[in-house]
Amino acid sequence: MGKMHIKVTVNGKQHELLAEPRELLIHVLREELGITGPHIGCETSHCGACTVDMDGKSVKSCTVFAAQANGANITTIEGLGNPDGLHVLQQMFKEHHGLQCGFCTPGMITRAYRFLQENPDPTEEEVRFGMAGNLCRCTGYQNIVKAILAAAAEMNAAKEAAQ
Amino acid sequence: MIPGTFDYHRPDSVEAAVALLAEHGDEARAIAGGHSLIPMMKLRMAEVQHLVDLQGITDLKGIKVDGGTVTIGAMATQHELIASEALAQAAPIIREAALQIADPQVRYVGTIGGNVANGDPGNDMPGLMQCLDATYVLVGPEGKRDVQARDFYEAAYFTARSDDELLVSIRFTAPKGGYAYEKQKRKIGDYATAAAAVLIAKDGGTCSSASIAMTNLSDTPVWCEAAAEALVGTSLDKAAVDAAVAAMTGAIDPQEDNRGPVDFKKHVAGVVLRRAIERAASRA
C-alpha cells in the first residue's frame, strides 16, 4: 500500500496530508505538520513525552499509527497556550518550578489538562496516579504535583468567579 | 523504530472484519488499542501485511449489565471499564484489576478484547476472566461460537482462537460475595511479578464457594481449582489459607527472568494470594 489520504484536526485547524499507514502520529505531527511541542522520548510507550489529546483522551502519539488517527481531533501543547497567553497549567508549572530541562513538560501539561477535565478537584495522590504515564528525570515530581494542584485551584476559583 | 509496510483496513462491521481476516490469513492481524501489537511491529517482531483496525465497528463497543449477566464488548477500553458504575456494581473486581494495568494513557486505548485475546501471560484480564468463569464469544467465517476462558489459553500467545476469528464480546455471571485483585509489580505500568484474582462467598462464617486464578506465573493464566477447594467449607483460618497457597504453588510454573528467580516468584505468588484471600474474605 502506498500513501493514504489522512485528515486530522490539530489545535482547531484541519489538515489533509498523504502518509504511509505505518507512519506514527508523532512523526506526522513533528515532521509533516511542523508541530514540535510533543517530543519523542523513549519511543516505546513508556515516557509520555509524546502525549497528545486525541478525541478527548490522553494518548502516547508514538504508539498510534497515522492511519488510526485519520478523522481524529487532536490537541497538542501548542493548542493549550502560547508565550503571549499561557494556559493556567503552563503558568503554574513556571511559578512552581515544575520543570528543569523542559523535555517532558509538553507531555506533562497535555496530560494534566485532560486529567483536570476529568477530575477538577484532585487530591495529591490522585494527581500522582493520574500522571503515572509521564516520566520526568529532573524534578523528582514534587513540583509538578504542586503545579497541577495549584492549577486546579486556579481553575476552580476562576469557575466560581464566573458563576 | 518504524514497522514494515502494511495495508490498512478499517471495516465497519464484524462480518467485514472477519472477511478480511479470512482473505489474508496469517498475513492479517486485527488491531484494537494496539498497545501490545504496535510495539511488537515497531521492533519488527510482528510482521503484519494487513492491519485490520476495529475502531469503526460499533457492535464491538459497550458494557451491558442485564439482570445477573454482564456482557462487555471486545473494544471496551480499560478506561471505560473503570468508569462504568454499572460494572462496578455488578463486578467490582474488574475496576480493581483495571486500575492496576499500565498507565492512564494506555488505559484510554487498551481494550479488554485485546488484553484477553493476545495470549500474553503478562496480561491481567485472562486470569481474572478465568476466575469469573467468563465466556468468550468468537465470530469466524463459519459463524459464532463460545469458548470458556478456562479453555481458551494453550501456551504463550497460542489460544483457541483461529487466525480468521474475531473475539467480539465477553460474558459472565455477576459474582456474589467478596473479591480481590492483588498484583505485585516492580513499578507502575509494569506487568505482574505475580498477581492473584480471588472470589469468595461465605455462608455465616464458612466459605461456601471460592475461585482463584494466578497471572504471569506460567505460560498461561492458572485457574487453580485445588486452591479454591482448600478454602471451601472452612472458616478461612490459617490452615485453610496455607493449604490453598500450597495447592497454588504446586500448580504454577514460573520462569526466571528480569522479574526474578523462580523461588522468588513462588514466594511473591504466595504473598499476593494470601493478601487477596484476606481482602476478598473481608468483603464477603
Segments making up each domain of chain B, as ranges: 7-52, 60-173, 178-283
- pTM of the full structure: 0.96
Q: What's the confidence (pLDDT) of residue A97?
A: 97
d(CA A116, CA A7): 28
**A residues 17-56 closer than 8 Å to B (CB):** 20-24, 43-46, 48, 51
Mean pLDDT over A13-42 rounds to 97
CATH, range B7-52: 3.30.43.10
Question: B158-159 and B153-155 as β-strands: parallel, antiparallel, unpaired?
Answer: antiparallel
Whole-angstrom Cα distance, residue B184 to residue B272?
A: 7
- Cα-based angle A42, A47, A51 (whole degrees, multiple of 5): 105
The 3-class secondary structure across chain A, one letter per residue, is: CCCEEEEEEECCEEEEEEECCCCEHHHHHHHHCCCCCCCCCCCCCCCCCCEEEECCEEEEHHHCECCCCCCCEEECHHHHCECCECCHHHHHHHHCCCCCCCCCHHHHHHHHHHHHHHCCCCCHHHHHHHCCCCCCCCCCCHHHHHHHHHHHHHHHHHHHHHC
Does B40 reach chain A within 8 Å, measured CB to CB? no
CA–CA gap between residue B94 and residue B83 (Å, rounded): 11
- Beta bridge mates, A4: A19
On the question of pLDDT at A1 being above 80, the answer is no
The whole-angstrom separation of Cα A10 and Cα A77 is 11
pLDDT given at position B75? 98
- CA dist B155 and B116 (Å) reads 13
Q: Rounded to whole angstroms, how far apart are CA atoms A111 and B38?
A: 21
Digit-coded pLDDT (tens) for B155-167: 999 999 999 999 9
Residues A39/A107, Cβ–Cβ less than 8 Å:
yes
Instruction: Tell me the average pLDDT across A24-29.
Output: 98
Q: Using 50, 70 and 90 to split pLDDT, how confident is the model at B1?
A: confident
Give the distance from residue A57's alpha carbon to the nearest chain B alpha carbon, in angstroms.
Answer: 6
Q: Do B188 and A64 touch (CB under 8 A)?
A: no
A vs B, Cβ pairs < 8 A, gives 80
Q: Which three cell numbers stand for residue B32?
A: 484494537
Residue range A4-79, CATH number: 3.10.20.30
Do B7-52 and B178-283 fold alike per CATH? Answer: no
Name the DSSP letter for residue B187: S
Judge: domain B60-173, CATH 3.30.1490.20.
Answer: no
Assigned CATH class of B178-283:
alpha beta
Q: What is the ipTM of this complex?
A: 0.96
- B188: pLDDT strictly greater than 90: no
User: CA of B111, closest CA in chain A: separation in Å?
Assistant: 14
Write down the CATH number for the domain with range A88-158.
1.10.150.120
